[in-house]
A and B are shown apart, each in its own frame.
Chain A
Amino acid sequence: MENICKVCLLDLPNSILECILERLSPSELCKVSTLCTFLREKIRTSEHLWEAILKRKWGRVIGDSALREWHRFVAFRKASSSEAKSRSSNTSETSGTSSFKSDWPIIITIGSSSRNISQWTDDSFPDDSIMDLCISLEIGLFWFPAQLYNERNDWTIQNWHDAMLSYDSRTDTFKARYPLHGWSEVGGNVGWDKVRAPAVDISPFSVYASNSIIHDLKPGDHIEIQWRHSLQYPFDWWYALISHVDTCDGRGSACRCHDNDQLVLEFIEYPIESYWRRAVLSRKVACYKEQGNQRFGFYGGIRKIQTQDEIARWNKEILPISNP
């Protein structure tokens, strides 16, 4: 292994060096920062490098709501740091207080992870930096809002639902807390393929305002719609296709379904004969509130799925089950 390269790492142009470094985990970067003073400064001061790491590793799961919650998390941590320091080092958890109001809780865990971060926290980086965010994500210190794919072994439930997540680097999976029961319920071992950044930035209990697109929806459009079993529950996001109203045979230019107040949804994961397969909503009502009843649940806001990637992702999850 001697002399395996004749060019020194530091001779590489800056852009290439950063492309190599952005492929390392924070703990590996921590190691690399001890190689020489140049690399130490580079790793501590390059916003570009940490932005690349954030995008590369976390881009798919960190959305606007997670970034906003990060700033609240930092503010909360600053405000409570003196209190936290005086506390014993045993694991304990607190939830956000009223002065940091949001739809999401702030979850602070004190314990093993704070030991891991100590090697970074001498004089090295400003709070609230992207580097701080990346490290806090990596060591599972920062719980962030995201959505999980929920599926039962039978085909009865397939949807995205909101959760607070914390990464576990040992297993490369996530721990999750769910909004019911004050976010106390915890699950684990959630794989990367079952997580996404929330498609829209709202509370799990709020109806998404879809009035800008609701009147443009036409048969064949792919959508996600909020649905909940009862008014005390958070909404989940379900996939559906817009279909033709009963009086339309769906043929060519005679179809006026897009002018009809009735909006017919097809939940294609259910068999044709199932009463969960179709739902008929009013476009007017959908503009301002949820509609439904205790028996069939409540339908909230709608977002149109714009990209082929998203459609493909849903079809990949759903179709093998409905069309075995």
Chain B
Amino acid sequence: MSSSVEAITVLSSDGDEFKITVSAAKLSKPLNWMLEDVCFSDDCDEVPTIEVNSKTLVKVIEYCEKHAPRANSGASDSDAEELKKWDIEFMKMDVKDILFHILMAANYLHMEGLYDLACQTAADLMKGMTVSQIRKIFHIKNDFSSEEQEQLRRQHPGCSFD
């Protein structure tokens, strides 16, 4: 083992290799345990697998690397402000098509900050949409009977069902 290890290699569930720095891996308890295992085991060649697909893992690692300096050393208010802006941009990118994967990965990797951010993003997405837009985007099947549907229209005159 070597205490000078700065980055470790991990495998995604699709079998692709990724590098993550030791300080970034500390944002996640399971990743940190994995890292200790790698650093302290005799068989240093073994590459651990993370049960997250490649597309998602790229984003998770990007988030970890960005947040690691602050998480490890504390930061000033202006850094925190900058990080908040970065988070918003981070969630705006192509992340939308993998939002739920990121949520599940953050849950599985015990990453509170990313988990909160992803939950809030999902909630914010729903806020501005009509019922039918939400159904389409979140893949929800309308399974109300026509009678129930009619009743809903009466009870929720404010909601747009079109």
Contacts and interface: CB of A to CB of B under 8 A. Distances in A.
Nearest to B129: A31
A87 interface: no
A3 interface: yes
Interface in B138-155: 138-144, 148, 151-152, 155
B103 interface: yes
21 contacts: A1-B133, A5-B97, A5-B98, A5-B139, A7-B100, A7-B104, A7-B139, A8-B138, A11-B100, A19-B115, A27-B158, A31-B131, A31-B134, A34-B131, A34-B161, A35-B135, A35-B140, A36-B141, A36-B142, A36-B143, A119-B158
Interface in A205-262: none
Given A8-B140, A9-B100, A35 B134 contact: yes
Contacts of B123: 20-21, 23-24
A1 B97 CA distance: 9
B156 interface: yes
A32 B103 CA distance: 19
B159 interface: yes
B70 to A, nearest CB: 22
A53 B133 CA distance: 24
Contacts of A27: 158
Contacts of A30: 156, 159
Nearest to B133: A1
Given A10-B140, A13-B107, A34-B161, 8 more contacts: A1-B137, A12-B104, A20-B123, A21-B123, A23-B119, A23-B120, A27-B158, A37-B143
Across the A-B interface, the 6 shortest Cβ-Cβ residue pairs: A23-B123, A7-B100, A8-B139, A9-B138, A4-B96, A19-B119
Contacts of A8: 138-140
B103 A16 contact: yes
A32 B141 CA distance: 13
B100 A12 contact: yes
B138 A5 contact: yes
Contacts of B138: 5, 8-9
Interface of B: 96-101, 103-104, 107, 115, 119-120, 122-124, 126-127, 131, 133-144, 148, 151-152, 155-159, 161
A193 interface: no
A28 interface: yes
B45 to A, nearest CB: 34
B97 to A, nearest CB: 5
A267 to B, nearest CB: 30
A6 interface: yes
Contacts of A6: 97-98, 100-101, 139
Nearest to A116: B158
B140 A36 contact: yes
Nearest to A19: B119
Contact of B152 (A4, A23, A32, A34): A34
B100 A35 contact: no
Q: Which of A2, A4, A11, A12 has the most CB of B within 10 A?
A: A4
A23 B125 CA distance: 11
A34 B103 CA distance: 24
B137 to A, nearest CB: 5
